[in-house]
Amino acid sequence: MALTDHSRRLEAIAPYKFAELEQQVADKKAAGIDVISLGIGDPDQPTFPHVVAAMQGAVADPSTHQYPSNRGRLEFREALAGFYERRFGVEIDPEREVIPAIGAKECIYNLCFAFLDPGDVALASDPGYPVYTGGPLLAGGEAVVMALNPERGFAPDLDAIPAEALGRARLLFLNYPNNPTGAVVPEGLFERVVTLALEHEILVVHDNAYSETTFDGYVAPSFLATPGAKEVGVEVFSLSKGYNMTGWRCAAILGNADAVTAYWRLKTNVDSGLFDAVQLAGAAALEGSQAPVNEMNELYARRRDLVVGALREIGVEVEAPKGTIYIWAPVPEGHTSSSFAELVLEQAAVVVSPGSMYGTSGEGFFRISLTTPDERLSEAVERLREHLA
Ligand X SMILES: *Cc1c(COP(=O)(O)O)cnc(C)c1O
207 touches ligand X (CB under 6 A) = yes
Judged by CB under 6 A, the residue of 209, 341, 350, 370 near ligand X is 209
Site stretch for ligand X (CB under 6 A), options 12-20, 103-111, 256-264, 344-352:
103-111
Q: Which residue is nearest to ligand X (CB)?
A: 103
How far apart are alpha carbons 96 and 140 in whole angstroms? 29
Alpha helices in 182-288 (DSSP H): 189-200, 229-232, 257-267, 276-287
Q: Are 35 and 350 in contact (CB under 8 A)?
A: yes
**328 sits in which H/E element:** strand 326-330
Closest CA to 53 of 342, 224, 283: 283
| 37 vs 336 by CB, closer to ligand X | 37
Q: Are 321 and 175 in contact (CB under 8 A)?
A: no
202 touches ligand X (CB under 6 A) = no
Q: Shortest distance, CB of residue 272 to ligand X, whole angstroms?
A: 18
Q: Shortest distance, CB of residue 85 to ligand X, whole angstroms?
A: 22
Q: Are 134 and 145 in contact (CB under 8 A)?
A: no
212 touches ligand X (CB under 6 A) = no
Compute how many residues bind ligand X; rule: CB under 6 A: 14
281 touches ligand X (CB under 6 A) = no
Chain centroid offset of residue 185 CA: 14
- Helix and strand numbers (H, E) in the chain are 14, 12
| 70 vs 240 by CB, closer to ligand X | 240
Q: Give the pairing of strands 251-255 and 98-101.
A: antiparallel
103 touches ligand X (CB under 6 A) = yes
> In 10 A of CB 147, how many CB atoms?
16
| 272 vs 347 by CB, closer to ligand X | 272
What b/e readout covers 13-24, taking b as 16+ CB neighbours within 10 angstroms?
Answer: eeeeebeebeeb
Site stretch for ligand X (CB under 6 A), options 97-105, 289-297, 302-310, 355-363:
97-105
| 282 vs 348 by CB, closer to ligand X | 282
161 touches ligand X (CB under 6 A) = no
| 211 vs 226 by CB, closer to ligand X | 211
112 touches ligand X (CB under 6 A) = no
Closest CA to 175 of 336, 17, 326: 326
Q: Shortest distance, CB of residue 287 to ligand X, whole angstroms?
A: 19
What b/e readout covers 345-383, taking b as 16+ CB neighbours within 10 angstroms?
Answer: beebbbbbbbbbbbbebbbebbbbbbbbeeeebebbbeb
127 touches ligand X (CB under 6 A) = no
Q: Shortest distance, CB of residue 133 to ligand X, whole angstroms?
A: 13
Site stretch for ligand X (CB under 6 A), options 155-163, 217-225, 240-248, 288-296:
240-248
How far apart are alpha carbons 379 and 104 in whole angstroms? 33
| 155 vs 349 by CB, closer to ligand X | 155
Residue 94 has φ and ψ, to the nearest 5°, of -65, -15
Q: Interface residues for ligand X in 249-278 (CB under 6 A)?
A: 251
| 179 vs 337 by CB, closer to ligand X | 179
248 touches ligand X (CB under 6 A) = no
Where along the sequence are the contacts to ligand X (CB under 6 A)? 41, 103-105, 129, 175, 179, 207, 209, 238, 240-241, 246, 251
